[in-house]
Structure 1
Amino acid sequence: MRRNTLQHPTRLVPLTFLAAIALGTLVLMLPVSHTDNLSVPLLTALFTAVSAVCVTGLSVVDTAVYWSGFGQAVILILFQIGGLGIMTGATLLGMLVSNRMQLSQRLIAQSEIRSLGLGDVVDVLKMILIVTVSVELVVAVILTIDLHFSYNEPWLTALWNGVFHSVSAFNNAGFSTYSDSLMRFESSPVVVLSITSSLLIGGLGFPVLLEIFRQGSQTKTWSIHTRITLIGTAILLIGGTVAILAYEWSNPNTLGPLSWWDKFLGAFFHSATARTAGFNTLDIGEMHAVTLVVNYVLMFIGGGSAGTAGGIKVTTFFLLLFVVWAEIRGNADTTAFNRRIAYETQRQALAIVLLSAAVVSVATIILLSVTSFQLQDVLFETISAFATVGMTTGITPDLPPSGQLVIIVLMFIGRVGTITVAAALALRSSTTPYRYPEERPLVG
């Protein structure tokens, strides 16, 4: 009984993430991980390991200065593992060795990558390997060449920075080997657009990529999941770009001094990276309050399901919009693209949003209690941590130990998922053989 309980996917996934975090923490505490060959404090190593495995990107130290080349390599490995999912990587390895998968492996993999159907797991895992290697390799080559010829970085330095940022971008990790993230590249279309393409591909979700690969341009055969993800991503990307342009156009500390093309490039990149990638070419701490609110929305929604992005996910958000629209119109069924949305799916989406809002709210209250930061900065930090975004207004290094622990918990819950955590705590589900009488309380 105990063995079966530990092997259940909903418990095994969080446990393996915890194991990776523990191992990463121990390695990062070694003197060889520090630039000056000094022992790293436990809390600093733990915060960094959680941020890397949970592909968040928040850091209490300067990654470029504090960590040695070895330490940065460890961080890269951790967010590569975290981005793909530990169970996904383990299943891929088993598939490559034995060229076949057992049913138990399929179930575990499906729990992590949230494949659309059990029969799709093998195809999704193959696509993960193909897409990951291809995208990271292509982007790494582009960045390496551009960093060498345009920014005069030595070949080895350019290669390391190119590989690091390529892997970080595809996994929506947000870690950078530059102290200013990507602010020095705000006017570089090669760097900005290559990283944007990588993080968008990784954030769409592998089931979507698999379906596009299978069906091609035959959009009529695409599932509702794929349609909502692609259309929702486009709406958020365009809407975020327009909003940031409108509110930051004349801000002398962000878009103000830039040319019209660089303004568009900066707003476009920020709209894309705010949905869980975590890089920045603009100074977030200098943005107007209304722009921060736009960031709240983009970060909380996040990217596509079963990808490297975080947040409540695009499909969750837009499914609830369809539910609201159906209620407004008085329709008994919630429909989208001439298909009826299952009632169980609606309940799951609602549960995800409510649980996520509750977690962020509680964390915000706690941080406000233990720090003296303003509400807009604390709320930005908590949403960024929970949605595994990694952007900050600059308060992360100044958080007290208690505040750092709050962020650590937020990053872990945000990566593993509120539903997975809830299911892990209540492994057994039961159906009662009876139903209570129905009553309709007043709402609204």
Structure 2
Amino acid sequence: MILRVSRAPSRPLSGLRHPARAVVIAFASAVVVGTSLLLLPVARESRELTGLVEALFTATSAVSVTGLIVVDTPGHWSTFGELVILGLIQVGGLGVMTLASLLGLVITRRLGLRMRLTAQTETKALGLGDVRRVVIGVALVSLTFETIIAAVLTARFVSGYGYEFGTAVYHGVFHAVSAFNNAGFALYADNLMPFATDVWICAPIAVAVIAGGLGFPVWIEVWRRARGSLHRWSLHVKLTVLTTAVLLVVGGVAITTAEWNNPGTLGQFGVGGRLIAGLFHAVMPRTAGFNSLDVGQFESGTLLVNDILMFVGGGSAGTAGGIKVSTFALLAFVIVAEVRAQPTVHLMGRKVPSEAQRQALTVVLLSAGAVMVATLTLLALTPFELDEVLFEAVSAFATVGLSTGITADLPPAGQLVLTVLMFAGRIGPITLASALALRERTRRYELPEERPIIG
């Protein structure tokens, strides 16, 4: 006898029947356009043609707001090329937040539909007004933070380094956009190492990175409930803010302690400089990719801490990558509930549905699998050690941009592996999580239960 599963009826949502396909096409189109522009002779400082792999890698890195580079940004690219990169970063960052926020809205309405049908009430459709509010809100949040950070950086470049006003504005805007969008591109050959102990450069950039990484849903809810009690915040906002704060503190202590006496990193500075640089590098794996220290000189333990922080990433519907802090926190509470032999997961006064738990586990395991496959491939293609290759793979997938310095030395095949990994890491968790949520179904039967041996 054949048993069949009866699927719950579904309704189209204002043309968003295939959100995953729309996300992939949108980002792929941006990469193609960016690659084409970077291939133009005018995009290179020497006015010579750039290789296809270099242009594709850079465009993908910019659109995915990663920051890994295979050529020196200020040395290789002309002002036109830098502006193309800046435009791709802005498009990528706005696109990530907008599409992720819209998908979140679609998922919320879709999952809420069944509850409303059960209660025999009328559901609301996802309309153009919702889309318009999300797009405008994302743009306002982005431009507000970028403008403030750009003004602070511009003032510092003028007062502290004697830049001409036009040059200071250009550098301020570029690094503000790159920071808020968690891209990590810089207009200096050694990234931000010249400013390792300058709190007026490092602090604004760190603030922009954290702000962009928290995500649009967090900022819009904080804004709307600024005068209300923290207890009224949604579970998502509480999880995101709390987990981000904990990881920043833990990462700051771990990295600063491990590198305190390393002469190649923090050991070269005084106490104040060590604290500034250590805290700055605790923020960067959120996933920005700026570096004020030579990452290639990090201790092995520090690299592992960075691997973990990069893999976790930042908040959902933000410019950060990784599996997201809410996913990480949810699985941590699932473990706690299982250790305590609790049948359900209760978190901050709410019960977490089993569907969300399964989706979080799926995202984590598939992400880990992608990193492992890429790491094994790079080990087979290159002579580099596991520490370096794993760091590079995690940085690419989590769209971080930090590197031990081996990116440019990878063979073209290795750079293409990272290109695919950056693209997949940017759109993968978004499309996977939305697809899992939107495909949620109910069973009309259950098979006989049998428990396998665990452990």
Within the alignment, does 1:259 sit opposite 2:270 as a pair? yes
- Worse-matched range after superposition: 424-433 or 261-270: 424-433
Partner in structure 1 of residue 48 of structure 2: 38
Cα RMSD (Å) of the superposition?
A: 2.3
Which position in structure 2 is the counterpart of 1:111?
103
Equivalent residue, structure 2, for 1:194: 204
1:300 maps to 311
1:125 CA displacement: 3.1
AA aligned to 1:228 is L
2:7 paired residue number: none
Q: 1:57 aligns with which of 54, 63, 67?
A: 67
* Structure-2 residue corresponding to 1:156: 166
Structure 1 residue identity aligned to 2:196: E
Comparing 124-133 and 134-143, the one that deviates more: 124-133
For residue 85 of structure 1, give the secondary structure of its aligned residue in structure 2: helix
Deviation at 1:428, TM superposition (A): 7.2
Could you tell me which amino acid in structure 2 is paired with residue 371 of structure 1?
T
TM-score where L is the length of structure 2 = 0.88
Percent identical: 50
Structure 2 CA distance for aligned equivalents of residues 195 and 347 of structure 1? 36
Equivalent position of 1:99 in the other structure: none
**Which residue does the alignment assign to 2:333?**
322
- Structure 2: which 5+ residue stretches go unaligned? 1-13, 110-125
Distance across 1 between alignment mates of 2:66 and 2:105: 18
For residue 179 of structure 1, what is the aligned residue in structure 2?
Answer: 189
Matches of 1:112 and 1:370 in 2, distance apart?
39
8 Å contact 1:10–1:427 — kept in the other structure?
no
SS of the counterpart of 2:24?
helix
The amino acid across from 2:424 in the alignment is I
Question: Which amino acid is 1:398 matched to?
Answer: D
Q: Distance in 1 between matches of 2:146 and 2:426?
A: 21
Confirm or deny: 8 A CA contact 2:96 2:318 kept in the other structure. no
Secondary structure in structure 1 of the residue aligned to 2:266: coil
Deviation at residue 113 of structure 1 after TM alignment: 7.9
**Once the 2 structures are TM-superposed, how far is the Cα of residue 435 of structure 1 from its aligned partner?**
3.0
How has the CA–CA distance of structure 1 residues 222 and 430 changed in structure 2, closer, same or farther, with 3 Å as cutoff?
closer
Residues 382 and 410 of structure 2 are in contact (CA less than 8 Å); yes or no, is this contact kept in structure 1? yes
Match of 2:386 in 1: 375
Q: 1:73 matched to which residue of 2? A: 83
When residues 5 and 361 of structure 1 are mapped into structure 2, their CA distance, relative to the original with a 3 A threshold, is farther
Question: Does the Cα contact within 8 Å between 2:214 and 2:315 map onto a contact in 1?
Answer: yes
Rounded to whole Å, the distance in 2 between the matches of 1:318 and 1:75 is 34
CA distance in structure 2 between the partners assigned to 1:148 and 1:87 by the alignment: 32
Q: Which residue, 228, 240, 244 being the options, matches 2:255?
A: 244
Q: How far 1:436 sits from its partner (Å)?
A: 2.4
Structure 1 length as normaliser, TM-score?
A: 0.90
Structure 1's 201 and 379: CA in aligned 2 closer, same or farther, altered over 3 A? same
Q: Distance in 1 between matches of 2:16 and 2:230?
A: 41
Larger RCO (alpha carbons 8 Å, 6+ apart) = 2
Supply the distance in 2 between the matched residues of 1:428 and 1:341 (Cα, whole angstroms): 18
Amino acid corresponding to residue 137 of structure 2 in structure 1: M
- Partner SS for 1:274: helix
Q: Could you tell me which runs of 5 or more consecutive residues in structure 1 were left unpaired when the two chains were aligned.
A: 90-107
**Structure 2 CA distance for partners of 1:430 and 1:225, relative to 1, 3 Å:** closer
- Contact 1:79–1:168 (CA<8 Å) still a contact in 2? yes
Q: Which range moved further: 216-225 or 73-82?
A: 216-225
Matches within 5 A, 1:163-174: 163-174=173-184
Distance in 2 between the 1:432 and 1:267 partners? 51
Structure 1 position 430, deviation (Å): 6.5
Q: Deviations over 1:121-150 (max 9, x none)?
A: 554433312211111111111111111221
Structure 1 distance, partners of 2:419, 2:106, is 24
State the match for 1:101 in structure 2. none
Which amino acid in 2 is paired with 1:111?
Answer: L
* Aligned residue identity for 1:393: T
Equivalents in 2 of 1:72, 1:367: separation in Å?
A: 29
User: Are the counterparts in 2 of residues 17 and 86 from structure 1 also a CA contact under 8 Å?
Assistant: no
Structure 1 residue 116 displacement after superposition: 5.7
1:248-278 Cα distance to aligned partner (Å, 9 max, x none): 0100111112121111111111011111100
Kindly indicate whether residue 135 of structure 2 is the aligned counterpart of residue 125 of structure 1.
yes
- Secondary structure in 2 aligned to 1:160? helix
Q: Partners of 2:106 and 2:93 in 1: how far apart?
A: 14
Contact 2:287 2:400 in 1 (8 A): yes
Question: Counterpart amino acid of 1:60?
Answer: V
- Provide the C-alpha distance between the structure 2 equivalents of 1:237 and 1:115, rounded to a whole number of angstroms: 30
